[in-house]
Amino acid sequence: MADAVTSFGTYRHLVAAQVRGQLSYRSSFVLNCFGQMLAQCTDLVVILVLFSRVASLGGFGVRDVLLIYSLAGLSFGLADLVVGSIDQLPTFIRTGEFDVVLLRPLGTLAQLAASDFQLRRLGRVITALGVLGYVLSTSDLDWTVARVALLVVTPLAGMVIFSSIFVAASSVCFWFIDSRELANTVTYGGSYFTSYPITVFTGWLRTFLAYVVPGAFVAYYPALVLIGRADPLGAPTWLCSVSPVVALLSALGAATVWRRAVRHYRGTGS
């Protein structure tokens, strides 16, 4: 336990140092942050253009889809902020720098997450928050204490789910060093998938990205509870509010995969 506390303290110092560094190049930071905001905006533009052609998508109107999109964007943005630098892992393995990571008396995952912390990734979060604020303030939702709690917990649970996806998917690099792009199918692909109601998709793609990779629990199920709708696919009501439990299980799963992967690691030998 004490280990975890020290580790967290060190992590905070490392991150803080990088943030200070990035903020000292003010204009570069602003431009980069703007780029991330824009990245989230292009997804928004796509949804709006689609809805200029149709009134509903997968049985959901534009407000519902925007709610799902903003919750998914918030979750992905936060996860990308916290563990996004794990996509540097192949470089660490190839150059043998991972040896150094193993030698330090700190958690391997925390070190990698702190290795290239980019505050600019907050840009995605800002756009998603803006859209979420707009949707909530213009929709006629029936607010209860439970729903308010759900609204607060959902992005956090989503963040944990996406972080777990990032970690588990990147672990593949320990076996297949050049297959980094494959991880994108569940990270960026997962973000793309979770921004829409899962009713849009069919077949094994839906089964895989909604339940095996628990994408449905990031935004779709919580959004159903918030707007007070039953799942058209017939999921029981309780399933729609278990995202935190799914998040916990995902984190445990990702941690197990990561430990096995690290044990598999062999240095470059020179």
Which residues are near another protein by CB under 8 A? 28, 31-32, 34-36, 38-39, 42, 45-46, 49-50, 52-58, 176-182, 184-185, 189, 192-193, 196, 200-202, 205-206, 209
91 or 108: whose CB is closer to another protein?
Answer: 91
115 or 184: whose CB is closer to another protein?
Answer: 184
**Smallest separation (angstroms) from another protein to the CB of 128:** 15
**Smallest separation (angstroms) from another protein to the CB of 25:** 8
**Smallest separation (angstroms) from another protein to the CB of 38:** 5
43 or 240: whose CB is closer to another protein?
Answer: 43
**Smallest separation (angstroms) from another protein to the CB of 82:** 20
192 or 265: whose CB is closer to another protein?
Answer: 192
Which two tokens mark 199? 């009713």
129 or 200: whose CB is closer to another protein?
Answer: 200
Q: Which residue has the tokens 């975890």?
A: 4
**Smallest separation (angstroms) from another protein to the CB of 228:** 22
What 3 state SS string does the chain have? CHHHHHHHHHHHHHHHHHHHHHHHCHHHHHHHHHHHHHHHHHHHHHHHHHHHHCCCECCECHHHHHHHHHHHHHHHHHHHHHHHHHHHHHHHHHHCHHHHHHHCCCCHHHHHHHHCCCHHHHHHHHHHHHHHHHHHHHCCCCCCHHHHHHHHHHHHHHHHHHHHHHHHHHHHHHCCCCCHHHHHCCCHHHHHHHCCCHHHCCHHHHHHHHHHCCHHHCCHHHHHHHHCCCCCCCCCHHHHHCHHHHHHHHHHHHHHHHHHHHHHCCCCCC
63 or 206: whose CB is closer to another protein?
Answer: 206
110 or 173: whose CB is closer to another protein?
Answer: 173
**Smallest separation (angstroms) from another protein to the CB of 207:** 12
Given a contact cutoff of 8 angstroms between Cβ atoms, the answer to whether 177 and 264 are in contact is no
Which two tokens mark 27? 């204009």
**Smallest separation (angstroms) from another protein to the CB of 197:** 9
